Structure formats: C-alpha cells, structure tokens
C-alpha cells in the first residue's frame, strides 16, 4: 500500500516523518481510500439504533485550552493569540506526535504526561480545520493529516460521540484535499 501512515496505534507506534513521500496519483488515491473507508464504516454504524449518552467533558489544561480555541473560532472571536496557540500545539505535535495533558510556556509536556485523551485529539483536529480555513497555511493541513492518521489508528477505542466527530473532521479534511487538488490541477479520476 502506498499510503502507510496509519499503524496499529500511532500513539505507541509513532510515525517519524515530517512530510510523507509522494507516490504519485496511486498514493493520493490510497490516501482518499483510507479516509473513505472510515466514512463508510461510520455511515453503516450510525444507521444502527445506537444510543449516544452525552458525557460531561473531563478535559483539563491542554484539553480545556483546545476547547477554548475551538470555541473562539466557532464564535468568530479568533485573533493572533488564538492562532499562536494553535501554532504552539502544532509545533509540539509535529515533534512528539502526541497531545499531552499539560504543557509549559515553551510547549513542552510537563507534570501529567497523559497522552491518550482522544477527545483532545478530536478537538485539536477541529482547531486545525478552522485554522487552515482561516489562514490557508498548509502546515495546519499537514498537521491535520497526521492527527487524523493517529485518530484512525485508534478508531476502535473511540466512543460513539468521538466517532461522529471524527467522521465530520474526515469529511472536512477531504473537502480541503479536493479543493487543493483542484487548485493545483491534480485530477483524481474515480
């Protein structure tokens, strides 16, 4: 398979790349197929009568900060500080391929070294979608691809609420991908 960036669990089997090697149109088609596979699986799953129990968020520190960033975008209150925060989380994720519960002022993990808060990854991915749409800066889309690869590698561990959120994130990611492909004259015939 040309698209090899989703492992058994990317949190424990970290991907070490900064930029993936482009393998031509086949690579892009396999990337799209990896995303559509999740979308199709979710479509089949959500059609079943699944009761989704709303849970109170247990996010603290980084998770709460990411929630506040996401809310700023939703309410159209983003500013330079918002973008700088996303930039800090992006830089840290690019280096460590994880989102930790706590960070110091230099975006280095401190204190609680917990990194398996899947909701924080979902919210970070949403922040990256918002930030890319706001700035059009490709580093945020690049990071989104890696975060989504990580989430897809642990999709079986996500509760129904997070699976639905991931479904929407993947749809947004593919929308951005197809827009960029079109803008750059890349045709992906089905």
> 46-50, 86-90, 154-158, 173-177: which has the minimum mean pLDDT?
46-50
φ/ψ (deg, to 5) at 33: -60, -35
pTM tops 0.85: no
- The domain segmentation of the chain, as residue ranges, is 59-183
pLDDT in tens, 105-162: 888 888 778 899 999 999 999 999 999 999 999 999 999 999 999 999 999 999 999 9
**Shortest CA distance to 89 belongs to which of 71, 56, 64?**
64
Tokens matching residue 42: 């979710």
Report how far residue 137's alpha carbon sits from residue 164's, in angstroms, rounded to the nearest whole number: 26
Please report the pLDDT score of residue 28 as a whole number.
83
* CA atoms within 13 A of residue 166's CA, in its CB half-sphere: 32
Give the tens place of pLDDT for each residue, 49-71.
344 333 334 444 899 999 999 99
Look at residue 173 in the predicted model and tell me its pLDDT. 97
Please list, in sequence order, all residues whose beta carbon lies within 8 angstroms of the beta carbon of residue 149, skipping any fewer than 6 positions away.
Answer: 5, 6, 10, 15
Residue 15 has pLDDT above 80, yes or no: no
């Amino acid at each position: 398979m040309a698209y090899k960036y989703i492992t058994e669990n990317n949190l424990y089997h970290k991907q070490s790349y900064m930029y993936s090697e482009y393998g031509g149109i086949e690579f892009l088609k396999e990337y799209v197929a990896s995303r559509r596979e999740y979308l199709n699986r979710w479509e089949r799953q959500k059609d079943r009568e699944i009761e989704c129990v709303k849970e109170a968020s247990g996010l603290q520190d980084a998770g709460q900060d990411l929630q506040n960033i996401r809310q700023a975008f939703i309410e159209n209150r983003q500013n330079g500080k918002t973008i700088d925060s996303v930039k800090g989380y992006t830089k840290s994720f690019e280096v460590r391929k994880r989102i930790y519960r706590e960070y110091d002022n230099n975006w280095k993990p401190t204190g609680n070294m917990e990194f398996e808060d899947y909701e924080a990854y979902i919210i970070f991915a949403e922040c990256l979608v918002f930030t890319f749409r706001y700035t059009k800066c490709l580093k945020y889309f690049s990071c989104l691809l890696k975060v989504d690869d990580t989430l897809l590698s642990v999709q079986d561990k996500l509760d129904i609420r997070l699976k639905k959120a991931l479904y929407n994130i993947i749809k947004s990611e593919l929308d951005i991908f197809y827009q960029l492909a079109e803008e750059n004259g890349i045709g992906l015939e089905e």
